[in-house]
Amino acid sequence: MDKNLNENQAQGGENRTELEELGEFGLIDRLTESFSVHNPQSTLKGVGDDAAVLQMPQGQVQLVSKDLLMEGVHFDMTYCPLKHLGYKAIAVNLSDIAAMNAKPAQVLVGIAVSNRYSLEALEELYAGMRLCCDRYGVDLVGGDTVSSRAGLAISVTVIGYAEPQKVAYRGGAKENDLLCVSGNLGGAYAGLLLLEREKREFLANPKMQPDFQDFSYVLERQLKPEPRLDIVDLLAELNVVPTSMIDVSDGLASEILHLSKASDCGCMLYQSKIPVDAETCKALEMFKILPETAALSGGEDYELLFTVAQKDYEKIKDNAKIKIIGHMVEKAQGTFLVPENGSLIPLTAQGWQAFNKR
Ligand code: ADP
Ligand code: MG
């Protein structure tokens, strides 16, 4: 049954056009023709020649990042609609540029695809990519298309720009800096748990209809994450350059450890300050998972985690989009989760030690 659902998507619904019918160039044309150019100043030549030609905005530096997504490893065709997958493939790359306090402008997309997929299926994938590109003003300027014998692979390269003095690295945090996050955590993990449960139930009884009532927010967090480019704009408006920054793709604990290590600092994270949304808590309760466990270890929330110097406290303290959840300390003090009772629980990449022992 798993296979059936999977196949439905790959087939692309009722009309199925075989990829061989189009050939490589026909396919590339069909997939890329409806993309428009948002950045004519920097995108001098996009798809259609041997290479794209890009103009670097004056006085800015270029940032480049890449992600590779493999069917069966990074996404599951049973519950990930192709349009959402396309959107997410672009969104997570834009998030990496946002995490440097920069703005993305171009992407390149490589796909390896088996003949199990139809033109219509790939058009769905690209429709999702286009939605995300249009939403964030990013140009698709090239890529590569090859055939695969096993499943779908999607590789996205993103190019962004920033003024060099505004780029936020992982290693810039200093003792006493405030630790901030751009939104609530644990939602994407709650969404994944729901989708996995529905998959198990579907495998047992294919006639069953999914019961996703009341959980649209967490499902969206999992299937259609948004890169927090609004935070890059907000920080610029507030005239704040974060001393360090990272996006939360692997869970808060792991990202805090990255910032602390790269910055040669320790960190105190206040448990009561970790933002978890009410719907997320409700979903997690069904799986008997504590909200802080999902926030610390869940991942894929794509919020921005950053540090701000004390001197900028007044500028951020009343902003609803920025939550202060802790502060950096001397390296020798270590990196801890601090519960209400004031005890210190060492943070580990898996979450925190107490969680592992349970
Ligand atoms: P080459 O043979 O020189 O590698 P291709 O035929 O692979 O060129 O690509 C032709 C054009 O289409 C190039 O501009 C390339 O960047 C673009 N392109 C190829 N595949 C994709 C894709 N999957 N998505 C977007 N652009 C693509
Ligand atoms: Mg090529």
* Residue minimizing CA distance to atom 19 of ligand 1: 144
Q: What is the mean pLDDT of residues 267-289?
A: 97
Residue-wise pLDDT tens digits, 176-192 = 999 999 999 999 999 99
pLDDT category of residue 11 using cuts at 50, 70 and 90: low
Q: How far is the CA of 159 from the centre of ligand 2 (A)?
A: 19
Q: CA distances (Å), 232 to each of 27, 102, 168, 208, 245, in order?
A: 36, 7, 10, 43, 11
Q: What is the mean pLDDT of residues 342-358?
A: 68
Residue-wise pLDDT tens digits, 141-200 = 999 999 999 899 999 999 999 999 999 999 999 999 999 999 999 999 999 999 999 888
Residue-wise pLDDT tens digits, 38-92 = 999 999 999 999 999 999 999 999 999 999 999 988 898 888 899 999 999 999 9
Q: What is the mean pLDDT of residues 236-253?
A: 97
pLDDT category of residue 13 using cuts at 50, 70 and 90: low
* Dihedral in degrees, nearest 10, Cα atoms 248, 249, 253, 257: -80
Q: How far is the CA of 169 from the centre of ligand 2 (A)?
A: 33
Answer yes or no: is pLDDT of 220 > 70. yes
User: Which ligand 1 atom is nearest residue 51's CA?
Assistant: 14
Residue 354's pLDDT is 41
Answer yes or no: is pLDDT of 270 > 80. yes
Higher local confidence (pLDDT), 93 or 203: 93
Q: How far is the CA of 143 from the centre of ligand 2 (A)?
A: 7
Q: Are 180 and 325 in contact (CB under 8 A)?
A: yes
Q: CA distances (Å), 277 to each of 198, 221, 280, 284, 309, in order?
A: 22, 11, 5, 11, 27
Average pLDDT of the chain to the nearest whole number: 92
Mutate to test the pocket of ligand 1, among 28, 69, 158 (most ligand atoms within 8 A of CB): 28
Answer yes or no: is pLDDT of 3 > 60. no
Q: Are 150 and 113 in contact (CB under 8 A)?
A: no
- Ligand 1 site residues, Cβ closer than 6 angstroms: 28, 31-32, 47-50, 109, 111, 140, 142-145
Residue whose pair of structure tokens reads 């990496």 in the numeric block: 96
Residue 358's pLDDT is 36
Q: Exposed e or buried b for every residue in 207-223, given b needs 16+ CB within 10 A?
A: eeeeeeeebebbbebbb
Residue-wise pLDDT tens digits, 320-338 = 999 999 999 999 999 999 9
Residue whose pair of structure tokens reads 């779908």 in the numeric block: 152
Answer yes or no: is pLDDT of 304 > 50. yes
Structure tokens at 34: 């409806």
* Residue minimizing CA distance to atom 24 of ligand 1: 143
Q: What is the mean pLDDT of residues 209-235?
A: 91
